[in-house]
Amino acid sequence: MTHTAGEVAQYLGARLEGDALALVSGVASPDRASAEDLIYVDSPRHRGRAVESAARCVLVRPGLRLAGKTIIETSDPKFAFAKAAAWLLRKPSPPPVVHPTAIVASSAQLGANVSVGPYAVLEEETQVGPGTVIEAFCFLGRGARVGESCWLHSRVTLYAGSRLGNCVELHSGVVIGGDGFGYVLGEGRHQKFPQIGRVEIGDDVEVGCNATIDRGSLETTQIGEGVKIDNLVHIAHNVKVGAHSVIAAQTGISGSSTLGNGVTVGGQVGIGDHCTIENEAVVGGQAGIPNGKTIRHAQIVWGTPARPLDKFKQQYAWFARLPELAERIRKLEKGPPSHDDSAT
């Protein structure tokens, strides 16, 4: 969709300097941009790339000037760029029809302008809010509820009773509401513990491809508003993830753990059961958090077992010196050469 630079500035609530009628139809990096692409500069060291770019319109920090460019001033050009991109590149929704190959139960309730793709299945008592898109081969189990303006990409599965808020996006292969991994050992065998809870996902949540979120055992697995979950993440039963947290790929969160608001979890992190990660904490990539451990408010941790970042760096530096230190210890244990040895 094509807009003017003035319209972009108005949408962002930012100050414009230059040609307000310059056309903006897309976004790009400075090196690949055309004249109608919007670019951004968040550091003076990238100024040269922006000046040489074909793009006419640039998002910059206040006070930065670029000869021959229309500039839009903002305190956070990268965030403004992402916000503008979502506005400029709004993907067109498919037509609001139910494909003839879809199977929709008679008791299912579909809001206005809902699109249901080929071979999708909506079981009894499912509810789908207005403007939602359900792509091909999706499955919505009995009593599943999906809010307004959601987008379920192909082959998403919602088990019975799952709940999605508004503006939720689930990418291909996501499974919501499968049974948690809960067993009790007795009489020489593993007896499955009841998995009869459900999953509740708040508004504006995005879940990446092939991620899985298990239903609660006797309670509810909860994903808060604005949470962003990467590909191949596993969230176990009874977990609670606070609003606006982000979880990177291949992370596993064990049962009954709680993440606060604004938590950042790096890739390949392992979180044991019954852990607590308080608001705004940061867990570095490949960190391991033992069962029952608490990470305090805004604490940054790394390593396995996870420990404060400064301590991790210190220990890691010593770890890198272990071969050198081991050789010194061997020499100390051997001791000085004996008198007879020196004579020979």
Predicted local distance difference test score (pLDDT) of residue 178 = 97
Which pLDDT score, from 0 to 100, does residue 340 have? 62
Specify the pLDDT at position 341. Answer: 55
Pick the closest to residue 12 from 79, 57, 92 (CA basis): 79
Compute the distance between CA of residue 213 and CA of residue 206 in angstroms, rounded to an integer: 12
Chain segment 282-313, per-residue pLDDT in tens: 999 999 999 999 999 999 999 999 999 888 88
Q: Is 171 considered catalytic here?
A: no
Q: Which of 153, 237, 274, 339 is catalytic?
A: 237
Cα–Cα distance for residue pair 310/32, rounded to 1 Å: 40
pLDDT for 6: 96
Tell me, what's the pLDDT at 158?
Answer: 98
Question: CA torsion sign, 210 to 243 to 78 to 4?
Answer: positive
Question: What local confidence, expressed as pLDDT, does residue 212 receive?
Answer: 98
pLDDT reported for residue 92: 83
pLDDT at 10: 97
Query: Domain boundaries in the chain?
Result: 3-88, 103-309
In this prediction, residue 342 carries a pLDDT of: 53
What element of type H or E holds 339? helix 339-343
What topology does CATH give the domain 3-88? 3.40.1390
- The whole-number mean pLDDT for each consecutive block of 10 residues of the chain, a chain of 344 residues, reads 94 95 96 96 90 96 92 96 94 91 98 98 98 98 98 98 98 98 96 96 98 97 98 98 98 98 98 98 96 97 92 84 86 76 52
Structure tokens at 226: 């604005």
The CATH H-level superfamily of 103-309 is: Hexapeptide repeat proteins (2.160.10.10)
